[in-house]
Structure 1
Amino acid sequence: MKRAALVPEFTVPSPERLPDMWPGREVELDGLKAYVRDTPAAAPGAEPAVYVHGLGGSSTNWTDLAGVLAGRLDGQAIDLPGFGYSDPARSYSLAAMASHIVRWVEHSGRGPVHLFGNSMGGAAVVVAAALRPDLVRSLTLISPAMPFLDPRRSLQGPIVPLLLLPNAAKLAARRMSSMEPEALASMVIESCYADPTRYPEQRRLEAIEEARRRHLVPWYAEAYVGSLRGLVSSFLRAYLPGEGSMWKMAARIKAPTLVIAGRQDRLVDIRTAPQVARLIPDSRLMMLEGVGHVAQMEVPRTVARAVFGMLDELQEDKAGRAATQQVATQVRDGVRQRAPRVRMAS
């Protein structure tokens, strides 16, 4: 593990205005509707990237960061099953989420990709990267919801015991339906941001519209509760013997990895990110003061500086390997040309 390298701030694009949500489209994937938002590359030579949101989020969580990175990454942000505009899933386990990510990369035909994940999406891409290293160029984890067992470290801790109830989804649906979209959006913003005043008005209005949509989607509460159950189950298995441990999967990751977390994260134990970075062999860590659970939304340009730093490092490594290979080839060819001729004695 090493500290993340940041490119100079003046080298990172600074849009004059916030971009609108990137255009989305429906794609049939394994017989179900999947939804994806495309952030087209703003320059030639851009490499493919896939962005995966967290619990209760959607592809819109990546609007700002994807726009800043568009000069070097051709982005696709997906709605996980049951969230955003995607159809519900048969299973909301973490393994099922990781399988969906793998299937999307395979279906798009763009792999290997630079893979990004926030919160639950961060945990899911860890599993995907461990199982299918051939599909991943690099990994960026933002407040990944990796296992921690102290419920006091999360605002969601008090509701974890309710997951044992068979009608937990109905209770959650009733609770959500009793809240006005404005109140629901404000609750999400306050839990995810260290400083809610940073949340732009344009994004707040978009969040309200998304909260309003959740009232209309009959499976949203089931998706939320099922996904939270899947996360908690993965937490428990992580400390049991067997290959299903999330920590063992993290240690198997081969891709260069950037781990980012906010020190004011109220949803994931802030000790988790350094532990993840210590386990992944080729990792970089950046802890941000005054930032909460969704650094890619709260400080997108700072996150972009770290991403660009890793991309520059990878390019330098690639160029160095190419130069070394070229020298080795020249030396080998030169030795062949200068090979001494053996003269037979008469």
Structure 2
Amino acid sequence: MVPSTPFAQLSAGEERRTVSLPGVTLTVRRRPGREPGLPPALFVHGLGGSSSNWTPLMALLADALDGEALDLPGFGDAPPPDDGDHSITAYARVVIRYLDAAGRGPVHLFGNSMGGAIVTRVAAVRPDLVRTLTLVSPALPALRLQRTALPTALMAVPGAVPLYARLTRDWTPEQRTAELLALCYGDPSRATPDQFGAAVEEYRRRLTQPYCWDVMARSVRGLLDAYTLGGQHSLWRQAERVLAPTLLVYGSRDQLVSVRTARRASATFRDSRLVVLVGAGHVAMMEDPDAVARAFRDLLADTAKTSERSASPRG
């Protein structure tokens, strides 16, 4: 439930377009597969992040997937939704509406942090849209928040965000980016100078958006509200309903989603594989994209073997 580090610039081989749907405008970053006919994938970022959070992983998997990543409404280059609804349910509806409109489903669906909560809901209510589910530090409800996650949670308190904005108005984008890397990475030194510079420029641009802090506050409230839902709307209850083969990736040094929740997640998703990356933080797909790519390839191999066994004639 944290701001993911934003690297917004287009990298070589990427395309970007704007998609208008009723009530929302999305920005879609695409990394075409290296050959025609590769299966489609959709990547969903976390709180404060953008589609560019997935650029390293999308590049590594371009031989296996035709990848697209969304800027959710209010993040990246996408304006806020017309109705001002930043709940997890509203974001999940946006993802579903995009997949229905694009006709790309079923997709290999990825989500990080808040994006992990969003795509869990998508996979539960629309299994026809999902081939596999990959969750990197998914923001699923925990009995106790980590102390390092409390400042982010406090953004939901009325008046807290304007106060924070005033208290930090003299911070430079470089200072803000360094603080964010220290929070999101297990080892901030793994960000290259080019990545750090791109993140600074993205932070500088985001601070010029008049809705920046309001969207953050509303999204934090939306996530915390989702944590309080019970019954069939509970995120853990919906995780139980996910049919797609699921890869769970956690970082051992994640300061925002405790690795202690990994065991519960592994037991809850019915067809799951768990990978804990030693030394990684909250955004493993950025900090160690090679390891995440290897884990996803293993998931693909496992699901292919399962499909072959299912298709084999039985004596």
Which aligned pairs between 1:1-346 and structure 2 lie closer than 5 A? 19-20=11-12, 22-89=14-81, 90-151=84-145, 153-161=146-154, 163-165=156-158, 167-175=159-167, 177-237=169-229, 240=230, 242-324=231-313
- Change in 2 beyond 3 A, CA 1:177/1:217: farther
Contact 2:110/2:119 (CA < 8 Å) preserved in 1? Answer: yes
Give the letter aligned to residue 279 of structure 2. G
What is the deviation of 1:206?
1.1
Contact 1:192/1:265 (CA < 8 Å) preserved in 2? Answer: yes
- Number of residue-to-residue matches in the alignment: 304
Q: Secondary structure at the match of 2:233?
A: coil
Partners of 1:226 and 1:305 lie apart in 2 by 35
Contact 2:13/2:32 (CA < 8 Å) preserved in 1? Answer: no
Give the letter aligned to residue 266 of structure 1. Q
What is the deviation of 1:257?
0.3
Give the letter aligned to residue 68 of structure 2. Q
Partners of 2:44 and 2:268 lie apart in 1 by 21
Partners of 2:275 and 2:88 lie apart in 1 by 25
- Change in 2 beyond 3 A, CA 1:159/1:34: closer
Give the letter aligned to residue 285 of structure 1. L
Contact 2:19/2:28 (CA < 8 Å) preserved in 1? Answer: yes
Contact 1:21/1:63 (CA < 8 Å) preserved in 2? Answer: no
Task: Please list every run of 5 or more consecutive structure 1 residues that lacks an aligned counterpart in the other structure.
Answer: 1-17, 329-346
- Change in 2 beyond 3 A, CA 1:154/1:21: farther
Partners of 2:301 and 2:13 lie apart in 1 by 28
Residue deviations 1:300-343, cap 9 Å, x none?
1111111001111222222333332xx78xxxxxxxxxxxxxxx
What is the deviation of 1:183?
1.1
Of 315-324 and 221-230, more deviation after overlay is shown by 315-324
CA RMSD of superposed structures (Å): 1.8
Q: Secondary structure at the match of 2:110?
A: strand
Partners of 2:303 and 2:164 lie apart in 1 by 44
Partners of 1:224 and 1:179 lie apart in 2 by 18
Partners of 2:118 and 2:248 lie apart in 1 by 14
- Change in 2 beyond 3 A, CA 1:236/1:258: same
- 2:4 corresponds to which residue? none
What is the deviation of 1:177?
4.1
What is the deviation of 1:159?
4.9
Contact 1:98/1:128 (CA < 8 Å) preserved in 2? Answer: yes
Larger Cα-atom Rg: 1
Partners of 1:306 and 1:175 lie apart in 2 by 41
What is the deviation of 1:21?
8.1
- Change in 2 beyond 3 A, CA 1:71/1:162: closer
Query: What TM-score results when the alignment is normalised by the length of structure 2?
Result: 0.91
Task: Please list every run of 5 or more consecutive structure 2 residues that lacks an aligned counterpart in the other structure.
Answer: 1-9
- Change in 2 beyond 3 A, CA 1:97/1:322: same
Of 42-51 and 69-78, more deviation after overlay is shown by 42-51
